[in-house]
Structure 1
Amino acid sequence: MAYQRVLLKLSGEALMGDLGYGIDPQIVSDIAKDIAAVVASGVQVAIVVGGGNIFRGVQASAKGMDRATADYIGMIATVMNAMTLQDALEQIDIPTRVQTAIAMQEVAEPYIRRRAIRHLEKGRVVIFGAGSGNPFFTTDTTAALRAAEIDAEVIFKATKVDGIYDSDPAKNPQAKRYESLTYSHVLANDLRVMDGTAIALCKENDIPIMVFNLFEKSNIVRAVQGEPVGTIVGGSCAVK
């Protein structure tokens, strides 16, 4: 494997598959199996999961809800997804811990950096829920923050597309997919693969980001093996 400790960023929308809302159990099971294959190879895996399949704070705020309240509700939605993924992993005998940035001691551990690292060293998957615990920050920013805190070597952003394009491939058949990009190019061109705060954090801490299609079979394993399954963003990358 090309990496020893990785952080996987999953959007909430990824967990709902083709459903309009909620969680598709088969999709969650398939994701868990791919993660299990990575863990079996000896790689330490941490996960940050979003909550957009259940509740999106930004959308609720746009419709008149207080932004901070909306974001806290979205954080709770991420915990629901984290617990669902934990259950799927433990059903296939992968020891998993959920740590949350908002105290929920009856269902999850509080986020403690040293404890999270110890879990990883013991071969347990650690899922970070409730975002960063603060409103106005996305789970992309949480992924960058947690990756820096646990010394992850890379962030894998698993999406519904096979990389970063210069325009929306769903709207523009001529859209060009990049093989590699610098952090500066992503920020300067507002490519929005992750929000600007997340990209800046990764740039400051020299954490590369790999963006790839979650739904291609075994893509998580292939990404951890170092295969070029998507677009890589990093400080030393040329724009290709």
Structure 2
Amino acid sequence: MSIPQLTLVGAGPGDPELITLKAVKTLQQADVILYDALANDALLQYARPGAITRFVGKRYGCHALSQQEINHLIIEMAQRHGHVVRLKGGDPFVFGRAQEEIEAARAVGIPVAVVPGISSALAVPASQMVPLTCRGINESFWVTTGTTQSGEISADIKLAAQSSATVIILMAMSKLETIMDIFAANGKAETPVAIIQEGTTTRQKMVTGTVRDIAFKAQYAGLGNPSIIVVGEVVSLQASNIKAQVQHELLRVSAR
């Protein structure tokens, strides 16, 4: 029988090609794969024959299992089958509840390893040519959740709205209008905003606007979860970056 162990693996932002080689090798070695809603199920192709795969995803308003139930399942599967991989969207340590699962496993003597992943907070804006930093525009960026465990808006949103940093907000579509009101109250009503839904996948949709009008535009476009909100002057660079990219492609094609 395999020795019980747990490996938390980052699945990347959604595109199944944006997963690390180490993550693929770990999936190939797993006895059990417990995967989240934000982990592309195409990655299950790397599971070895006979491996157990089970969906344990959580999304806003829809939980397949509670976190406590997931913790219990990890322990049960590891003790019964051996190597359990928890396949998490993005990076396990960026709003992935990884620490709770690590502590549950270690409490019963199960060793834990982590394979980092590409966080959607970084990759999704990049996939749409939105730089998070640009010399002369900003010197930093914030990554924050829109809501706390209790469902309230994070106090960090108010702090972020006072800075010149690019602000990347995850899990916030249900509070979009209220969050934009906070930015507007801090003199940011005309600051550019991009909302990218299901970024890096074939279902990707994006809307751009300003703090003042982005909630209306997002509602009109039918955007919902999972989406990433980017607030900052760097968003204004997206249009010129895309235009230059298209022009380059046209020149390349015409030169054939």
Q: Would you call these one fold, judging by a TM-score over 0.5?
A: no
Bigger RCO (CA 8 Å, 6+ sep): 1
Select the structure of larger CA radius of gyration: 2
More strand by proportion, 1 or 2?
A: 2
Q: TM-score, normalised by structure 2?
A: 0.30
| TM-score for both structures, normalised by structure 1 | 0.32
